[in-house]
Chains A and B, each alone.
Chain A
């Protein structure tokens, strides 16, 4: 927030006054540097790694991790592409009963973290659940006398992830279809292609970069998933890293596994960046003629309705009903302990969100003030955190803070004769640090966009009308940034609330959050009791869905 004051003073041209700009730049450089440390610690293990560990890993667990992680990625990709692209096409081209509402409803599953939808469906579909119980009583069968798909399997995990992740593809693809000029389709029709061929040869290829962007986001989430695959007992990279780190206590081997996973993630980042660039190029269309929606009737309308209704039903309505029923069956669970648990979660998420926003503001202002190669590199580095699985970040944070505690803090403690214990690695500082690494991209992007909207001439107008730099910030910047910052705060708040693996690894002893509590109870086969915490997370998770859809509605 110092930027204007700083800018003014620098222009005064006196060396003594140059200090603030440098200290802002220094603060942002330090911020970026700190946030990069956990990643660098992991990457360093590529070079310092022990070859014996590699040999051991590849002989034992690695093939299975690879098989399952790839299977998961492939299955989820296929599912989200089919659901996301088809629903995007239907909602942008056709009008049928309910068609307008579906553009919002189809986003609802985003409110679910995958591990919570997994709890819902396990309760619904496993042996003791209502579906199988009904089959047994209706047909008078017993265990082993009928076939029923096992939900706790790789296939089950694929379905769970498809249900909650297809909205990424839907969102991106829908926007791309809306941006396409109707004249493109008209040109194709006039050249003799029917509607179906036009879709395959014109509409789909033009939307491809957007689809790939959505898909790469889905794959990042898939590779980062820990809760679902752990609960279903499917060994993948994330569960493997967790087990190696916690169960075997082998930090080096865990970090080495993490580097491999990191390699895949980097591929995804490159893919995403590349397709986003292509997207800009594709969307440079001149005047956009919006197409008239085709009105559907009869069976066609029903088919379109079902195509949109099924994902909403499976991805949101059924699992929410399951959670609601569990909650109502046992209202006594909403007790004082639950309230304090929720309070823990909310205050942690709020602190983390504020920290992320303050750091984003420092980085964004320093870049606006004086955009150097270094400040841009810092922003790029910090912005890739969203792609990194929480497990990796947590282990990176753990290793670096443990080193700091053992080497630096205890050395200082010895000098002054105080035993600090684990000052950082066992406390909330570690958690907030990890959240900042993982969730900085969103608030940073929001700050930069909002600041970019305020042209330098607006600052100069305020100054020439007699306002000091600080008054300019108060009267112009604060009101103009407020909305974006609030949105960013809510987004980070919800992400932190949902984040499971990093919280599991880094939380202080006996400190619980909603996500951790739901995970623990579900792991102990106490799904009933996990319902209140799960439902709370889903309800809060609706906030970003609301923010996203209201901006979509405003645009269309």
Chain B
């Protein structure tokens, strides 16, 4: 694809604030998506993610800042380009297919300007892409939930939008269907080389689908990162809490590269800016603590769950702290038994108290 065309498809959100009356829902938010990238706005309900999506799609006004698609100005304070001029596609949680039109007519709805033959070939191409060839003459009410969502995707892709927005597109579907559809949709989006931004409250969805995840909280982005970094290198306590399971244990700074914890001394591998003796919190994920009979650190098992390939033990340290520890499925211990545990950290994440 020529570079110029690619540039038209990058999304820039610049210092955007959105208000409903006196209530500021989004505050000075910045974000950028490169052409062809799949981004995700992740957050709990009420964090402002849907409001931001509405503003990008042209159904909400900005109080401050600007939104650009390539070099085209979509929105700024006092100006909102009408939705129909934006070349921004939309896929909704409730699907919103037009009930009085056939599948074919739904998909062709946004490409009425093309010649009849071109419309037909585009419809056929998209139906093939979403795996529903032969459904041209069917009506939405005769399709299953997953099929409807695929048609909605095809309809949004038909006019080759510069940007595709998806608003919780999978939350109405059951888990099995969702997992298979997620991978499928990601492949379709990559194939179509389309810049996409979707909203979800489900981190597994975000991790599966997105190249880049923006975790939103109180109308601002807490962290913008790849799914891997989001999990392993959370920048704030909120992110660490929100993403995955995690526990904090106290840590004391011993030297510029060293901390002391209830489970031993650790070398950080990076330079700490905190002075010696400062007290901090260390993030532990369940897979950061492993069972080791040789270890000096002992804990009592208070609960256990067999997960097939591994055991997850709830353990309690002598000082009363509860932790979770993983062990291979051969290490079958009884509740109440005392076992040795140790830390095995690849990423050391510390927060000031």
Say yes or no: is B96 at the interface (Cβ < 8 Å to chain A).
Answer: yes
In angstroms, Cα B82 to Cα A315, docked, is: 59
Q: Which residue of A is nearest B95, CB measured?
A: A457
Where chain A touches its partner, the secondary structure class is helix
In angstroms, Cα B79 to Cα A14, docked, is: 9
Q: Which residue of B is nearest A10, CB measured?
A: B61
- Checking B93, B110, B152 against A466 with a beta-carbon cut-off of 8 angstroms, the contacting residue is B110
Which residues of chain B have C-beta atoms less than 8 A from A460's C-beta? 57, 59, 83, 90, 92, 96
In angstroms, Cα B158 to Cα A464, docked, is: 12
B96 with A464: CB separation less than 8 A: no
- Which one of B84, B85, B99 has the greatest number of beta carbons of chain A within 10 Å? B84
In angstroms, Cα B91 to Cα A465, docked, is: 11
In angstroms, Cα B105 to Cα A479, docked, is: 14
Q: Which residues of A (443-464) have their CB < 8 Å from a CB of B?
A: 455, 457-458, 460-464
Say yes or no: is B48 at the interface (Cβ < 8 Å to chain A).
Answer: no
- Which one of A8, A465, A479 has the greatest number of beta carbons of chain B within 10 Å? A465
Say yes or no: is B98 at the interface (Cβ < 8 Å to chain A).
Answer: yes
- Checking B60, B78, B88, B99 against A464 with a beta-carbon cut-off of 8 angstroms, the contacting residue is B88
A461 with B90: CB separation less than 8 A: yes
- Checking A12, A14, A462 against B109 with a beta-carbon cut-off of 8 angstroms, the contacting residue is A462
Which residues of chain A have C-beta atoms less than 8 A from B156's C-beta? 461, 464-465
Q: Which residue of A is nearest B94, CB measured?
A: A457
A8 with B82: CB separation less than 8 A: yes
Q: Which residues of B (97-126) have their CB < 8 Å from a CB of A?
A: 97-100, 109-110
A458 with B98: CB separation less than 8 A: yes
In angstroms, Cα B53 to Cα A464, docked, is: 13
- Say how far A379's CB is from chain B's closest CB, in angstroms: 25
How many A-B pairs fall under 8 Å by CB? Answer: 76
B98 with A476: CB separation less than 8 A: yes
- Checking A11, A14, A480 against B99 with a beta-carbon cut-off of 8 angstroms, the contacting residue is A480
Which residues of chain B have C-beta atoms less than 8 A from A13's C-beta? 61, 78, 80
Say yes or no: is A468 at the interface (Cβ < 8 Å to chain B).
Answer: yes
Which residues of chain B have C-beta atoms less than 8 A from A467's C-beta? 84, 109-110
In angstroms, Cα B59 to Cα A13, docked, is: 11
Q: Which residue of B is nearest A7, CB measured?
A: B59
B83 with A455: CB separation less than 8 A: no
B155 with A465: CB separation less than 8 A: yes
B100 with A479: CB separation less than 8 A: yes
In angstroms, Cα B86 to Cα A8, docked, is: 14
Which residues of chain B have C-beta atoms less than 8 A from A14's C-beta? 78
In angstroms, Cα B158 to Cα A352, docked, is: 45
Which residues of chain A have C-beta atoms less than 8 A from B36's C-beta? none
- Which one of B79, B93, B98, B159 has the greatest number of beta carbons of chain A within 10 Å? B98
User: Which B positions have Cβ atoms within 8 angstroms of A?
Assistant: 57-61, 78-80, 82-90, 92-94, 96-100, 109-110, 152, 155-156, 158-159, 161
Q: List 14 A-B contacts (CB under 8 A).
A: A12-B80, A13-B61, A457-B92, A458-B98, A460-B83, A461-B90, A461-B155, A464-B89, A465-B89, A465-B155, A465-B158, A466-B85, A468-B84, A480-B100
User: Which A positions have Cβ atoms within 8 angstroms of B?
Assistant: 8, 11-14, 455, 457-458, 460-468, 475-476, 479-480
Q: Told that A13-B61, A463-B59, A480-B99 touch, could you supply 5 new A-B pairs with CB distance under 8 A?
A: A461-B97, A463-B58, A464-B58, A465-B84, A466-B159
Listed from nearest, the 7 A-B pairs whose CB atoms lie closest are: A465-B110, A457-B96, A463-B83, A464-B90, A457-B92, A458-B96, A461-B96
